[in-house]
Structure 1
Amino acid sequence: MTPGMLRLAYKLLVNDRAKFSGLLVGITFAVFLMIEMTSLFAGVLNRASSTVLNIGASMWVMDPAVQTVANTIGMPDYVLDAVRSVDGVKFAVPLYSGGALVRLRSGAYQSVTVVGVDDTSLFGRPQMLAGRIEDIYGENAFLVVKDAEFSKMENPAIGTEFEINDNRGVIVGIAGVASSGLFGVPTLYTTYQRAIQYLPTARYTVSYILVEPKSSADVARIQRAVARLGYLALTKDEFIGRISDFYKYRTGLGTNILLMTVISFIVGLSISGQTFYTFILENLEKFGALKAIGAKGRVLVGMILFQAAFTALTGYGLGIGLCALLISAARLKIPDYAAMITFGNLGLALVMVVVIAGVSGYVGVRKVLRIEPFDIFRG
């Protein structure tokens, strides 16, 4: 396949601007939908695991019935003592995580997520953007996370007061975290003891136990010891995987995203396949002439595959650009918009585009290889 033949294939492709534009639009639209849907799903999964990512603990101990970090099930205090006594545990601290309703300065009510970190170590505390972390020990002290939901707390400053479950609360610091939550509510941090004192809880108050093993070799031993207690110990990655599996397989979200992705693929395949086949039919005489003057079948096949690949990859790039542009625009208007483009999304879309290009090229190759130069000149 010489460069001259590739230039000829390129000119044949772009010479009919209407057909070429139709091919690009079909593939671009399909890629856009595939990446948009999978990016939205990736964003939801990332937000669903935001608490796990923000706290950063190596291991989490929980009730076996817990499926997501949001549906906490309390554990008795003896579990914390038992975990601390397990060989291989460097330290273990309690964590409270629950929902509450706060009354703001304006009199409006706002749902929030309250995270109570260990009073002694403050393990899992967020990064401070304003204020001092030591002030969390002050009376009625809370930290507010400055994320996409920050404005729902009426953009509080240090010293801002609010009411939480008939208790006075004071913002003593503004914090930043790696990932915002999924459910669109602001997040407050305080000490563990203040959280269980201010908020109504069941008999058991420990939502999770955060464990730091002495070494990675101790993880399995800790998990076996916790299992003997009747509870579940997961590494950070295992807990994130458990949350992802819940949203993939136990909700309609994963099925809906999968269906939309498949539909997008079928749309792109049908549009590009039909348009490319029409393009081949309209240029059949030119391919027949090339065959008559000595062009071998493999050269014609190479030209068609080049045309299909060039169109598919161009549409792939345009689809990615369009999706990135719209996601950026959406985040300007909707700060908590969850979609995020990942390498996995791009790889999946690329595989599907290659399939589209392969099917389109196969349709064209079959038609071109069947033509006879005699038939072309006779017509």
Structure 2
Amino acid sequence: MNVMKPVSGIYRVALKLLMNDKSKFTALLVGITFAVFLMVMMMSMFSGILARSCAPVYNIGAKIWVMDPAVNNTNSSIPMPDYILSASRSIPGVKYAVPLYFGSALVKLKDGTYQAATVVGLDDATLFGRPEMLEGRIEDVFAENAFVVVKDAEYAKLESPKIGTQFEINDNRGTVVGLAKVASSGLFGIPTLYTTYNRAITYIPSARFTISYVLIEPKSEADVPGIQKAIAKLGYEALTREQFVQKVSNFYTFKTGVGINILMMTGISFVVGLSISGQTFYTFILENIGKFGAMKAIGAKGNELVSMILVQAVVTSLIGYGLGVGAASTFMIVAKLRMPDYAAQLTYQTLGLALVMVMIIAAVSSYIGVRKVLQIQPFDIFRG
């Protein structure tokens, strides 16, 4: 207890020195808060973009996706011949395999304008991958010209149709028979329609082959590697849901400008926070150099002075971190209320990475202060 009291007293002195200079303390907090805000916003935007880019994979929910090896994202499916579906069904360990169609169509609205829409064609026999219905029955999709509309952030772009609403899609009549919801909206702000596979390939012009993906349900997890090897022998690729998500994420991260731009903005935010906090903390140390020298003269050891500076840097950084995360969270909540298709999402990985960056800022700032304080000599202070 006798040892702890002096130590805690030193920490109290350190915090009083820090917070009594309100202007410097505020400047430190503003710099770190602003840096954390920018870093969290950039990383949250990137996380949201990746989640939206993989939305069809999550919404359909298949365990294995069979595709052309050249496919690198869900929107660039390459049609496959029908024999791939038959071959998939004959592979040992396959419980069942169904076709899936992904395509784009133009919907003519009542005012005469056209709206692009994504059309998902589900297997006629099983409707595997069907969305959760909000209104209507999924079985009604078998009716003539029937479509189910996803009621998400893009729903209003189709003039918010109700059950029974008729529209024109690629010069064909369409009828809304239900409204549904999905786990995640798409990335590019395009409404989504569900229908049967055969109706989709009939309504939407396509090449000789029409199967976008083959969805496989394995009998057990142990059968997955064998299924993937069998598909590879056919010249195609079978990916689990997680592998497909990773492939799409890698594409948007490394093969488009999205990942590089977000990385650059995050790095700039880090440098801004580091420079502001480092310079301000150094100025704070210079202005209080006499006080540190006096403490050294009355017996404070070098490691105790270092501890004081570390406490000041860590406390400031953690408070700035909390304020920055709070500001970013508030901004994202308000943005989503105003713009339902806003893609940013806050994840534990984002919070953890931002915390690591803040600790680096604290370490560099404290290092700058430590070097200056350890160089002072008590007689220089009193002589001045």
Query: Same fold per TM (> 0.5)?
Result: yes
Q: Secondary structure at the match of 2:356?
A: helix
1:247 maps to what in 2?
252
Distance 2:110 2:218 in 1: 43
Distance 2:101 2:243 in 1: 20
The one-letter amino acid of 1:364's match is: G
Q: Secondary structure at the match of 1:114?
A: strand
Equivalences for residues 209-224 of structure 1 within 5 A: 209-224=214-229
The one-letter amino acid of 1:137's match is: F
| TM-superposition CA deviations, 1:246-290 (whole Å, max 9, x none) | 111111111111111111111111110000000001011111111
Q: Secondary structure at the match of 1:40?
A: helix
The one-letter amino acid of 2:374's match is: L
Candidates 297, 300, 314, aligned match of 2:302: 297
Would the aligned equivalents of 1:135 and 1:141 in 2 still touch at CA under 8 Å? Answer: yes
Distance 2:171 2:286 in 1: 77
The one-letter amino acid of 1:221's match is: G
The one-letter amino acid of 1:163's match is: E
Structure 2's unaligned 5+ residue stretches are: none
Would the aligned equivalents of 1:75 and 1:206 in 2 still touch at CA under 8 Å? Answer: yes
The one-letter amino acid of 1:366's match is: R
1:363 aligns with 2:368: yes
Candidates 15, 26, 31, aligned match of 2:31: 26
Q: CA deviation at 1:107?
A: 2.1
Equivalences for residues 209-358 of structure 1 within 5 A: 209-358=214-363
Q: CA deviation at 1:106?
A: 2.6
| TM-superposition CA deviations, 1:350-369 (whole Å, max 9, x none) | 11100000000011111111
Structure 1's unaligned 5+ residue stretches are: none
Q: CA deviation at 1:75?
A: 0.5
Q: Secondary structure at the match of 2:133?
A: strand
1:194 maps to what in 2?
199
Q: CA deviation at 1:4?
A: 1.7
Identity among equivalent positions (%) equals 65
Distance 1:46 1:238 in 2: 14
2:157 maps to what in 1?
152
Would the aligned equivalents of 1:105 and 1:161 in 2 still touch at CA under 8 Å? Answer: no
Q: CA deviation at 1:105?
A: 2.4
Aligned Cα root-mean-square deviation (Å): 0.8
Deviating above 3 A after TM superposition, structure 1's stretches of 4 or more consecutive aligned residues are none
1:73 maps to what in 2?
78
1:13 maps to what in 2?
18
Distance 1:107 1:135 in 2: 27
| TM-superposition CA deviations, 1:163-185 (whole Å, max 9, x none) | 11111101111000010000111
1:135 aligns with 2:120: no
Q: CA deviation at 1:348?
A: 1.0
Q: CA deviation at 1:186?
A: 0.3
Distance 2:360 2:170 in 1: 57
Q: CA deviation at 1:104?
A: 1.7
Distance 2:255 2:296 in 1: 57
Distance 1:71 1:296 in 2: 66
Distance 1:73 1:13 in 2: 62
Distance 1:160 1:321 in 2: 43
| TM-superposition CA deviations, 1:284-315 (whole Å, max 9, x none) | 11111111111111111111000000011111
Q: Secondary structure at the match of 1:69?
A: coil
| TM-superposition CA deviations, 1:329-357 (whole Å, max 9, x none) | 11122211111111111111111100000
2:111 maps to what in 1?
106
Candidates 60, 75, 78, aligned match of 1:55: 60
Q: Secondary structure at the match of 1:203?
A: coil
Distance 2:173 2:267 in 1: 52
| TM-superposition CA deviations, 1:189-235 (whole Å, max 9, x none) | 00111111111111100000000111111111001100111100000
Distance 2:294 2:21 in 1: 18
The one-letter amino acid of 2:377's match is: E
Q: Secondary structure at the match of 1:298?
A: helix
Distance 1:198 1:375 in 2: 87
| TM-superposition CA deviations, 1:59-94 (whole Å, max 9, x none) | 000011101000011011111000000001011000
TM-score of the pair, normalised by structure 2? 0.97
Distance 1:107 1:157 in 2: 18
Distance 2:234 2:133 in 1: 37
TM-score of the pair, normalised by structure 1? 0.99
